[in-house]
């Protein structure tokens, strides 16, 4: 678990995140959460990309097994049930998570176009469980209640390594397919 400021990102971290995403990782500034094996689980990205685009999501879930598990929760239609919890104490905690998210991002760089915007639908909706789980993994338990609940419901656990082989010789199928398509094979 890590919030800004982040430790320096290694070339190996960027290589692995690129494999995980199936595309080159952009403007990586930190690894906010790691698998028990040390591989990136949540990548942090600059609030303003190098091309000038505002990018509100500083905690991006990149671990393939985690992403697949959270996608399953979304496909099962759990978001309306989670959104119905946004009252009372959970609603107040979710508002605080929204404010903490913005404070983390603004601590890196203030992007006026993102003023008041966090991620995942906070503070009034549940829009993207990937962003909310990413925030929970980065900030730790008790900061983002909806991310915490989604993480509890997920079939993936941050305490069990489900990483593929990230060695130089191994490539994710998505990366290999993209490279083959680019080369005309």
DSSP the chain: ---SSPPPPPHHHHHHHHHHHTS---SEEEEEEE-TTS-EEEEEE-SB-TTS-B----SEE--HHHHHHHHHHHHTTHHHHHHTT-SHHHHHHHHHHHHHHHHHHHHH---GGGTT--STTTTT----HHHHHHHHHHH-TTS-HHHHHHHHHSS--TTS------STT---HHHHHHHHHHTT-
pLDDT of the residue at 3: 82
pLDDT of the residue at 6: 86
The mean pLDDT value of the chain amounts to 91
What is this structure's pTM?
Answer: 0.89
pLDDT tops 60 at residue 66:
yes
């Amino acid at each position: 678990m890590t919030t800004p400021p982040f430790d320096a990102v290694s070339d190996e971290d960027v290589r692995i995140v690129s494999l995980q995403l199936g595309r080159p990782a952009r403007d990586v500034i930190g690894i906010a959460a790691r698998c028990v094996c040390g591989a990136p689980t949540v990548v942090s990205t600059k609030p303003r990309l190098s091309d000038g685009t505002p990018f509100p999501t500083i905690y991006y879930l990149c671990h393939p097994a985690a992403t697949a598990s959270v996608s399953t929760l979304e496909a099962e239609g759990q978001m309306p049930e989670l959104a119905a919890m946004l009252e009372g104490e959970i609603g107040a905690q979710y508002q605080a998570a929204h404010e903490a998210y913005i404070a983390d991002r603004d601590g890196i760089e203030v992007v006026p176009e993102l003023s008041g915007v966090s991620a995942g639908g906070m503070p009034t909706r549940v829009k993207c469980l990937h962003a909310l789980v990413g925030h929970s993994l980065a900030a730790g338990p008790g900061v983002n209640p909806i991310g915490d609940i989604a993480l509890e419901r997920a079939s993936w656990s941050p305490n069990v390594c489900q990483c593929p082989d990230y060695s130089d010789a191994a490539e994710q199928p998505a990366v290999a397919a993209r490279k083959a398509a680019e080369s005309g094979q």
